[in-house]
Structure 1
Amino acid sequence: MTDRLPHPLRSDALDNRDRILDAARALFATEGLKVPMREIARHAGVGPATLYRRFPTKQMLATEAFADEMRACRAIVDEGLAHPDPWRGFRLVIEKTCELHARSRGFTEAFMATFPNAIDFVAERAYALNSIAELAHRAKDAGHLRPDFVLDDLILMLMANRGIQTTSEAARVAASRRFAALVIQAFQASPQHSPLPPVARLAPAAPREAG
């Protein structure tokens, strides 16, 4: 008897997987985990049979989508750590993490509420916090990060970023980019007021006073 090695997915199968996961994350973020599987298949441009062949249950699909989200977070942190300039690396982590959270707002909360024991993310969270603490220490030593910065400040910033409420994802991402730029200036040891990203209109324009 010969042992059969698992075959890697063909490129079309990988494309289908990526499209399904992208569609699932987008719909889970906007409509919650109650969105029908057939709607996810339609949004991904694949047939229901293809979806169920890759992900037989919604929990399997949501768990894989969430695992991809965690891998994206780790990749951002690793990219920041690898940057030769610790301040630029620190800024990169803030900017990209804020945008990632803005695009997936609602998905994390829905996943944790629906499948609280599906993934143990304690180790991932500890890795991210330890890595950012190291990056922050290097940025302080370089004289760019204010000396009184603590990790709780970053957690507070991420909590605030998750609270951005808009009518569309595009507006939420725009608001998150501007918020991240403001936070980075607040964290800088000697703020240099570089131009901010475009304003995201979150409220109706104030009425003009009668002349």
Structure 2
Amino acid sequence: MSEKSFQFTIEPWSVVRENKEYHTPIFNLLQRKMRLEAKDERNEGDFFVLEAPAWVNVIPITGNNEVVLVEQYRHGIEQPTLEIPGGMVDPGEKPLESIKRELIEETGYESKKWSSLGKVSSNPAIMTNYTHLYLAEDCELSTSEIPKGDEHERINVHLLDMDDFLNYVANGTIHHSIMVAAVARFMLNK
């Protein structure tokens, strides 16, 4: 693939004022007064964005070419999902440290062979953060304990053959957009 870079041409907006409207443990709701000053136009408006820490996700693959997945309930859509492991980057951690921790916490698996799949904007329309994507190969179960997750997480771990995993992405069983982005990066790097 080409390393050619796209040249953006749209004018940037500037922040006139920013207020923290609401704080939660996982994000802040910010109200930003933004201004665009182009050659023939001046535009100003209020925008709301979610300020969140960086996120991490990993496609963990065992030596038997099985993908380690987590099944968990998602309160936003009020349904269970099947996903690759992931989470938030804790203060003071680097993304790779965070995803290694998350993989063990959520699945009990670990790997010594890690590679970056890059990063993606979590949702650039309304969110400030990026998600760092990784591939972990030759994953092995490192503990016989059932992963506990966070206080309100209930996780079931599943091993799927790579073909079944990719079919679940293709047919929409695995539908979390950031997970699908990780799979796209994985496929592009193959």
Normalised to the residue count of structure 1, the TM-score between the two structures is: 0.22
* Bigger Rg, which one: 1
Flag the structure with higher strand content: 2
Flag the structure with higher helix content: 1
Normalised to the residue count of structure 2, the TM-score between the two structures is: 0.24
